Structure 1
Amino acid sequence: MEGEPKQISYGEYIGTLPNPTSLTRFILPPLEGTAVLHLDLKLALAIVERVLGGKGDPVDDEDVRPATAIEEKVVQRVMEDLLQALRAAWIRVVDFDPTFTTSESIPYYLQLSQMADDIVIAVDFKVVVSDEFGVLLEGDLSICYPYILLQPIASSLKASQLFGSSSGTSLSDEIRNGLEKVKAPIRCNLVRDKLRLQDLLEMEIGDVLTFRTNLEQAAEVVIGKTSVFWGRPGTLGRRYAVRVESFISPDDQSPSTLEDVAENILQEGTGKSNTTEEE
């Protein structure tokens, strides 16, 4: 989230939106009224292309256009998870069931409120889509609630209720439970070496690359961008597998051999045994 939620006029909010853009109305029963989710149109078009099997490269300014009806439906399907996250964020205050209704590309036709001076609550976010190699897509997202929509629950918007837990567990436990479900990319580096740029430019299909990596060297298991384990590659049933042998120490500058890993494990076990006997 970029900054704190803002209390501004509806006219001010509309004035901050580009034209055309991607606007999707949604309802939050039992609350009466409509809120809106705004997604950067360039980001929306790139997401649609990726979902439909394309590369999903960033869209140039000259290629920006209003989304078609089919593309708007695709965006809504992608944003369904966001609505469920929104529901979970509000659950301590009110249990609503958010549902997308209609879409709009021109802010003037949004008609979220009757008067330009009406008060709305706007929350801005920065959306970044990335992989292990860097940022793929990025853009802005905002959610706008008319104040009249939130007025029935305004008295409940207190810190003690927002940050308290309705289930009896602490907020830190709930955050941890949520983080434990996040999927982290993992890979195993079996070999590593350096290649001259000239060899790279002259490479052709069918060429064989040779590495100076010893087959007895432990494979490096990387989670996200961090080297975490030394492992022994092999198979498990009909799948390739890696057995974790030890954690990678911050002092490790180069891959260990499997014998070194085994010796370190043995020494650690012996050290723990001696400490127990002394106690």
Structure 2
Amino acid sequence: MSDILTQDEITALLSAFNRAEGAELDPESGATYEIKIYDFKRPHKFSKDQVRTLEMIHERYARLLSTTLSTYLRAQTQVTLTGVDQLSYDEFIRSVPNPTVLNIFSFASEEGNAILEINPGIAYTVIDRMLGGKGAPPDRPRELTEIERALMTRIAGLALRDLGEAWSSLVDVTPTLHSISTSMLFSQIALPGDMVMLVTFEVELCGVTSMMSVCVPVIALEPIMSRLSAEQWFSAAHKGTTDDTTRAIGAQLDGAKLTCRVILGSAVVPMGDLTALEVGDVIRLDTRPGQELPLYIEDTEKFYGAPGLSGSRYAIQITRAVQEARSDLDEMDCEEPIR
């Protein structure tokens, strides 16, 4: 019976509850409350940490694409990330111009496709540049011709390659282009109410500034959602290069061309003798017969060698590396003064 409250205890509890409720609802109390607005039509699928990770990934993508387009088009191109948003697919459809260039590609899963959208202003500037022009867009947007569609396929391939590279430090994805369209009627990748991630970029090329965007349905990102964290991003970004990366870099460097040159010798010549030089005169060098000659790779002394002939051409046979020669000098007895 000790668990049964007395009438006084019940009255005290009701009074305390009424006081607390009155304090909460009293507008004259001066208390402030934080009210969070929740849009049931546009629920947020990504946390703030995931959005920040997506921003870092696509900031890297913007830098990669700037370099790629500048090199390919031989014109200064600047791609800048302007935002990462969550919205419905219907809102994305209503935001793009018509016509525009829509590149349909698969992303991180087979659950759905994504869209790389390039505004007409930039698309036609790129096409004009690829055809040898100065990058002047047409007076008004129009449908792509078959030749222009083929040219934009190349650009889309480069852009998707860089997109995969930007994501590679976090997850291995291979964006694959499926088709190119100019109308949203033939580019339905999701239902109107489905949520999508929309990444927008500003592109500056040949005096023209326009927009580009990447639209990915949330369902296509679900397999990799757990890896979208700043902690994993920084961990992947700061880890050392793997053996595969080292081999890939080495394979790229194998074809690099380097200049090798041999110094036969040098001489100090008075100005009077120099001004009086004629054909047939002999300049005595400071190199002795049989002495090893230094071999330079670019501007760095790397080896010593003996001169000779290889067929009908002059050649040099490498006898030792510069480091070995320095080791020989280090082993010399330098305690006695040079006389």
TM range (shorter): 0.5 to 0.7
SS at match of 2:215: strand
Task: Please tell me whether the aligned partners of residues 121 and 210 of structure 2 are also in contact (alpha carbons under 8 angstroms).
Answer: yes
1:98 to 175, 178, 185: 175
Supply the distance in 1 between the matched residues of 2:166 and 2:135 (Cα, whole angstroms): 29
Q: CA RMSD in A?
A: 2.2
* Structure 2 unmatched runs, 5+: 1-79, 242-339
Residue 162, structure 1, aligned to residue 241, structure 2 = no
2:210 to 118, 131, 139: 139
Q: CA offset at residue 79 of structure 1?
A: 3.0
Shift of 1:117: 0.4
Q: Which of 199, 212, 232 is residue 123 of structure 1 equivalent to? A: 199
3-state DSSP of counterpart to 2:211: strand
Q: 1:163 to 1:59 in 2, by over 3 A?
A: farther
SS for the counterpart of 2:235 is coil
How far has the Cα of 1:7 moved from its partner? 0.7
Percent identity reads 34
**Equivalent position to 2:134, from 55, 68, 73:** 55
CA deviation after TM superposition for structure 1 residue 80, in Å: 2.4
Matched, 1:152 2:229: no
Higher strand share: 1
Question: What is the match of residue 44 of structure 1?
Answer: 123
Q: How does 1:18-37 map to 2 (within 5 A)?
A: 18-28=97-107, 31-37=110-116
Which runs of structure 1 show a deviation greater than 4 angstroms over 4 or more consecutive aligned residues?
Answer: none
CA contact (8 A) 1:92 1:161 kept: no
Which digits, 9 at most, give the CA deviation of each residue in 1:219-262, with x for residues without a partner?
xxxxxxxxxxxxxxxxxxxxxxxxxxxxxxxxxxxxxxxxxxxx
- With over 3 angstroms needed to count, the CA separation of the structure-2 counterparts of 1:49 and 1:4, relative to structure 1, is closer
Please tell me whether the aligned partners of residues 14 and 108 of structure 1 are also in contact (alpha carbons under 8 angstroms).
no
Offset, 1:42: 2.3
CA distance, structure 2, for counterparts of residue 140 and residue 24 of structure 1 = 14
Deviation string 1:71-123 (CA, Å, 9 cap, x unpaired) is 1221120232222221121113321111211011112321011x200010000
- Whole-Å separation in 2 of the counterparts to 1:140 and 1:93: 26
Task: Look at both structures and tell me which one has the larger radius of gyration over its CA atoms.
Answer: 2
Residues 128, 135 of structure 2: 8 Å contact kept: yes
- Cα distance, 1:31 vs. partner? 4.9
Q: Is the alpha carbon distance of 1:30 and 1:110 closer, same or farther for their aligned partners in structure 2, counting shifts above 3 Å?
A: closer
Secondary structure at the aligned position of 1:165 is classed as helix
Partner of 1:86: 163
Kept in 1, the 8 Å contact 2:114–2:215? The answer is yes
Specify the code of the residue in structure 1 equivalent to 2:197.
I
Given residue 231 of structure 2, which amino acid in structure 1 is its aligned partner? S
1:159-205, CA deviations, whole angstroms, 9 ceiling, x for partnerless residues?
111232267249xxxxxxxxxxxxxxxxxxxxxxxxxxxxxxxxxxx
Q: Look up the equivalent residue of 1:70 and give its one-letter code.
A: I
Contact 1:93/1:153 (CA < 8 Å) preserved in 2?
Answer: no
Give the direction of change, closer, same or farther, for the CA distance of 1:163–1:108 in structure 2 (3 Å limit): farther
Output aligned runs, 1:102-251, within 5 Å. Answer: 102-113=179-190, 115-129=191-205, 135-165=206-236, 168-169=239-240
What is the aligned length?
A: 163
Instruction: Give 3-state SS (helix, strand or coil) of 1:70's partner.
Output: helix
TM-score (norm 1): 0.54
